[in-house]
Amino acid sequence: MKRSRNAKCSECGGSVRRKTIDQEFEKEGVRVRLSGLQASVCGRCGEVYFEPGGAQQVVEAVNSLFRLAFSERQHKGTITAALS
């Protein structure tokens, strides 16, 4: 959603400004972090707005990172179990 210079947050009515942000996600005890995301962020409540399609791209990137993390964790677990 494009935000104009005087955009207001749909959640709290606060001012929304364009920023570069980092976001961390957690799933089953595994954390992944995306850095350098362009988004519009409410200065009052922190609500994050992405351009159209941006949220879907973030979801796809995060899911790819989780698949990689779980694959590595399973691989290391298998090797550890084989050495025991």
Residue 9: inside a domain: no
pLDDT of residue 71: 83
In a domain, 7, yes or no: no
Mean pLDDT for 64-77 is: 73
Q: How far apart are CA 55 and CA 48, in angstroms?
A: 10
Residue 29 pLDDT greater than 80, yes or no: yes
Q: Has residue 10 been placed in a domain? A: no
Residue with tokens 């698949």: 67
The structure's pTM equals 0.69
What CATH number is attached to the domain comprising 75?
Answer: 3.10.20
- b/e for 45-79, b at 16 or more Cβ within 10 A? eebbbeeeebeeebeeebeebbeeeeeeeeeeeee
Residue 7, pLDDT > 60, answer yes
Q: Which residue has the higher pLDDT, 1 or 35?
A: 35
* Domain count of the fold of the chain: 1
Average pLDDT for residues 9-34, to the nearest whole number? Answer: 92
For residue 71, the enclosing domain spans 16-83
* Of residues 31 and 43, more confidently modeled: 43
In a domain, residue 54? The reply is yes
Phi first, then psi, for residue 9 (nearest 5°) are: -70, 135
